[in-house]
Amino acid sequence: MDVRVEFEYDRTKPTSIEAYAQKLVGKSFRQIMDEDDAMLREEGTSYGESDVGEQKRNKGNLGQIIEECFFHYSCNSDARADFPEAGVELKVTPYRMNKNGSLVAKERLILTMIDYMTVVHESFENSHFWNKSKLILLVYYLYLQEAKFNLDYKIGYARLFTPPEQDLKIIKHDYEIIVSKIRAGKAHELSEGDTLYLGAAPKAATSADRRKQPYSDELAKPRAFAFKNSYMTYVLNNYIIPGKETYEPIISDSIVDSFEDYVVDTIDALAGYSVDDLCVRFNIDVSRKPKNLEAMIAYRILGIKGNHAAEFEKANIVVKTIRIGSNDKIKESMSFPAFKFKELVEEQWEDSTFGNYLRETRFLFVVYKFDQDDTLRLKGAQFWNIPYEDLEQDVRHMWERTVQVLKEGLVVEKKNGINHNNFPKASENRVSHVRPHAQNAKDTNELPDGRQYPKQCFWLNNTYILEQIDKRLR
């Protein structure tokens, strides 16, 4: 049946579309459906009214509700923006509230699929990605874990968004990094850790899905251009919600050609200074002996008074300080948050918590070294993300071995009064291992078989970290 709809907004004007979208705020998807009198929907569409498991998998229905029941246009796969006359793309995305009341994006924002065969011939300005992403109507809805149906989620915000100039420069650089890797025949090695705000996110129906790439015979995982989860959280809290205070920016203008080069060069400029000298230079009170002193120094060098830099928050950049001994070795391995045994055994490697953390995180290594007089001095900095092969081979093997140990039953033996287990050791894997991360023996977690055992976490081996440090910093 041909349903003709009289639009309540001007489809040629972005501001009119945004103003009309304000009517969404505070309403659940169920209310939007109930209030729809145009009934412009596909025959048989239930929009998430099926059983809980099925409707939670079919998140796309929520966007379809907004398109067909509110804006009254038919959902389609048109390559153009959703509102082509205005150049506006509609994106419906979830956020959640943490226990402390802070708001975070629940997931990355998928923008467009990456066509490996054509993207290598596109410039950023003329790319399919940018044409679909330069002006977005962001509709944020509050995700509630206890909600029985997706239809009961409520919309919190609806705002037009285009990346501001200082972000756009980094997004363009991210795009070029992704495309240059595809041009080098390495689409199969793409990782979200390669870039800052814009990522190449996995987007496959199954873990076995693969696509051809133009300059290599190796098949690659399907991927999409996506704004990272960390960037979407920053967008929500600093561009969408009015009146929120922003974090301090490292760069307050857009003159800098490369953000990463600027950060590294700024820290490197003070290489050779002792920690004591730097504390005096930046008026850092060491009487309280802060545990994060070396990281605090790095932030002060970058002009940040606190411990949060706007660009780091947007890009999910984690600052890790590394101490190299006068013997040219690193004493400490690098730890990550403790994992829960029973949750770990339910995960699959392709979407595992630890695997995704390493895939999506870019690290800023700030390196210090003890000289022959045992004085700790700044050596410099480098950006790093884990190489594809190290993650998908060594770390994956360690992770799968850990899961196997938990499923088969952790073996604990007491030798010379000390408990020993059969989790993967640093001596068994070049890259990573498992060992305790508990405050004391009573800081435990439940094993799959019901026993309590001290909390454990994944670590990157100290010898591996040393391998990854640029020679100029060792």
Confidence of residue 252 (pLDDT cuts 50, 70, 90): confident
Q: What is the pLDDT of residue 61?
A: 84
Can you tell me which residue has the tokens 């009064």? 417
Q: What is the pLDDT of residue 300?
A: 97
Answer yes or no: are the C-beta atoms of 296 and 306 closer than 8 Å. Answer: no
- Among 33-47, 115-129, 153-167, the minimum mean pLDDT is found in 33-47
For the chain, how big is the Rg over CA atoms in Å?
Answer: 25
Confidence of residue 52 (pLDDT cuts 50, 70, 90): very low
pLDDT tens-digit readout, 271-296: 999 999 999 999 998 887 788 999 99
Can you tell me which residue has the tokens 């670590």? 459
**Residue 221 pLDDT > 70:** yes
Q: What percent of the chain has pLDDT over 70?
A: 91
First to last CA, the chain: 72
**Residue 253 pLDDT > 90:** no
pLDDT tens-digit readout, 133-156: 999 999 999 999 888 889 999 999
Mean pLDDT computed over 399-428: 94
Taken in order of first residue, the domains within the chain and their CATH numbers are 14-240 (3.40.600.10), 259-473 (3.40.600.10)
pTM: 0.86
**Residue 8 pLDDT > 70:** yes
- Sign, CA dihedral 314-267-431-440, equals negative
- Measured at the CA of 137, the angle between CA 91 and CA 130, to 5 degrees, comes to 75
pLDDT tens-digit readout, 424-467: 999 999 999 999 976 677 789 999 999 999 999 999 999 999 99
- Among 239-243, 395-399, 432-436, the minimum mean pLDDT is found in 239-243
Confidence of residue 55 (pLDDT cuts 50, 70, 90): very low
**Residue 41 pLDDT > 70:** no
The span from the CA of 271 to the CA of 278, in Å, is: 10
**Residue 297 pLDDT > 50:** yes
Answer yes or no: are the C-beta atoms of 426 and 398 closer than 8 Å. Answer: no
Answer yes or no: are the C-beta atoms of 199 and 317 closer than 8 Å. Answer: no
Q: What is the pLDDT of residue 415?
A: 85
What DSSP element (H or E) covers 397?
helix 396-408
Q: What is the pLDDT of residue 423?
A: 97
What DSSP element (H or E) covers 233?
helix 229-235
